[in-house]
Amino acid sequence: MSESLVAFFTGFGLLGVIVLGLYFLFLILRVTLRRLSNDLPLVTAGISRDPVLLLVTFFGLNFLLNQFYEAEKAQGGLTDIIPLIQKSLTAISFLVATYWVAQILTQVVLYALKKYAERSEAMWDDVLIPILQNVLPLFTYIIGGVLALQAAGFDLSGLAIIVGGLTFVFGFALRDILANFFSGLVLLIDTPFSFGDVVALPDGTRAVIKKIGLRLTSMYLIDIHSEIYIPNGTFQNQNIVNLSRPTSHYYFTISIPIKGDVDPARAIALMEKVVLAHPDTMGDIDRKIEAIDHYYGYSGAGIKEPLKREVGQMRLLAEREATNALAKVEMGLKQLSDLLSSSEQGGLDIDESRMIQKQFVEICQMIGLERRAERQDKRKKTKLVEMTGSAADGTLINLVRLWYQCWLKDPDLFREDLITLPREWEQKISLLISKINKLYQVINSPSGLETRLDDMVEEFRAWMDDSFKSSRSEWQDPRIWVNEVNGDKSRDTNVRFFVDSIKLERCQRGNRIKSEVRQDLVWHLRQAYLM
């Protein structure tokens, strides 16, 4: 046996030991990474094991074959099969690497971005990520395929000329598709909605945004239980009303006739109580709790009304507790903002900084957060984390969770609502914790931002009121307008009220509430001889 062949088999054995060692290393990594709270490192290791072992094997074989080839060439024993094998191994290596990169992008990078989008309040990332899920793997496989063909020895210079010549032809033939594609990008950059939002189309049809593709936007039509696909170019040029913004509360109007000779004030007072009594309408919580026993559900003959009344009372009481806690937090933020405004002139001294930090920590404790020190890069860093155990009792986050858990007992909710409702509120809680952590870091080390701290606190308070939960919204109270007496001696009244969420019950919750409120109004008005 020649020396070159002995060296080849010796190297091959060493390569086998290296590959076997890497295999056991991945087994150890798998056991170690399972202990982490984040599963991304574990998934990355699982995806990478086979491609890494194959790439090391192919590169090692390529190196050994090259050494063997050079030795045989020097001895005059050159064989033409070795360069062909090397090209094949290189091409296969590119294919394996392409598959590896594509899997890392889809299973790790895009998955992490998707989870980030669920915690983010921005709308653009909800649209960007599905597009990236379609585009990135495709581009990765195209680039990897081209590199593999080149490594295999194919001459692609002619292909580049052909592609350049066909670009104009395809560009002209596919101009509508390209227009829809770029319209999709415009919708991505300046998106007026996120997935799951309820919108009204120009003809008044209500739909739910399902997906923005490269060419089409997919929407679910609520009233006819169907999907519609609109080209992005057409969709971009339409006037779309987003019914889910700024909040998912939706305004309904009911026209109810009453007798023309009755006292309008008496009719208005009764109708307000009936609307407030419904558990799923918006309004002053104390008045709703007072009215629900006397005015809700008496027009129905079913067995659901007593359960709905009981669950509604439970939910309203829980919401009142959460709203009171929220009002205390808002008051604390207002006082902190006033303190910052009066102290920031000329900069903050040490005593003022400590007093502000102390007051801010007290607000964080009311929210349900406590300080925890963590080591990062040999430095200790403090962050805010959720309280646990009995310490969390009575805090805003805990009370909000108790409130939406009472909401989940609503007998009218659908099965999917039991998933989407907690997800929505947990996302809001995550955003709350993230935003207050950013504010906490700035207050702890202002770094020249002392004069802007009051503005930052006010911005956070405004976000809580607009996007988290409002402690009191008088504009959500029901409104009743009485018109002039008609020719038939009756008056028309317009009853307007907000429902708690337009998204629940497959977006039919508002229609159900509207029907039940109308039914209760008619029943009580007839009982009072006002109709």
pLDDT tens figures, 204-239 = 888 888 877 667 788 888 888 888 888 877 777 778
Confidence of residue 240 (pLDDT cuts 50, 70, 90): confident
Peptide bond into 422 cis (omega under 30): no
Q: Coil, strand or helix: which one is 86?
A: helix
Answer whether residue 125 shows pLDDT above 70. Answer: no
Joined together, the tokens standing for residue 153 give: 């020895």
More confident residue, 137 or 343: 137
pLDDT of residue 118: 65
User: Is residue 167's pLDDT more than 80?
Assistant: no
* pLDDT higher than threshold 90 for residue 406: yes
Greater confidence (502 vs 303) lies with 502
Percent of the chain having pLDDT more than 70?
83
Give the count of alpha carbons within 13 A of 381, CB side only.
12
Would you say residue 376 has pLDDT above 80?
A: no
Average pLDDT for the chain: 83
Whole-number Å distance between alpha carbons of 92 and 190 = 42
Q: Which contacts (CB < 8 Å, 24+ apart) does range 200-208 have?
A: 200/240, 200/241, 200/243, 201/238, 201/240, 202/238, 202/239, 202/240, 206/243, 206/507, 208/503, 208/507
**Which residue is it, tokens 């989008």?**
117
On the question of pLDDT at 359 being above 80, the answer is yes
Per-residue pLDDT band for 407 (boundaries 50, 70, 90) equals very high
- pLDDT for the residue 401: 96
Q: What's the mean pLDDT in 175-190?
A: 61
Q: In 107-156, which ranges are continuous DSSP H helix? A: 110-119, 124-151
- At residue 159, the pLDDT reads 62
CA–CA dist 476, 456 (Å, integer): 27
Higher pLDDT, 490 or 254: 254
Mean pLDDT of all residues in 24-33: 88
376 - beta bridge partners? 379
How large is the average pLDDT for residues 509-514? 91
Is the per-residue pLDDT at 369 higher than 90?
Answer: yes
The pLDDT assigned to 448 comes to 60
Q: Please, which pLDDT band fits residue 372 given cuts at 50, 70 and 90?
A: confident
Angle of CA points 404, 406, 411, to nearest 5°: 110
> pLDDT tens digits, residue range 299-357?
875 678 889 999 999 999 999 999 999 999 999 999 998 888 887 666 667 777 888 88
Q: Is the pLDDT of residue 78 over 70?
A: no
Mean pLDDT of 238-263: 83
Question: Residue 136: is its pLDDT beyond 90?
Answer: no
| Chain position carrying tokens 């007290």 | 362
> Tell me, what's the pLDDT at 63?
85
Burial class of residue 433 in the structure, from the number of CB atoms within 10 Å of its CB (0-12 exposed, 13-18 middle, 19+ buried): buried
Of 49-63, 65-79, 332-346, 411-425, the one with minimum mean pLDDT is 65-79
Q: Give the side-chain half-sphere CA count within 13 A for 133.
A: 16
Total residues belonging to the chain: 531
> Is 80 exceeded by the pLDDT of residue 155?
no
Inform me whether the pLDDT recorded for 168 exceeds 60.
no
DSSP 302: S
Q: What percentage of the chain carries pLDDT values higher than 90?
A: 34
Query: Taking residues 91-111, what's their average pLDDT?
Result: 90
pLDDT of 171 strictly over 60 = no
Q: What per-residue confidence (pLDDT) applies to 413?
A: 95
Name the band, by pLDDT with cuts 50, 70 and 90, for residue 242.
confident
Considering the entire predicted model, what is its pTM?
0.71
CA–CA distance, 187 with 131 (Å, rounded to integer): 11
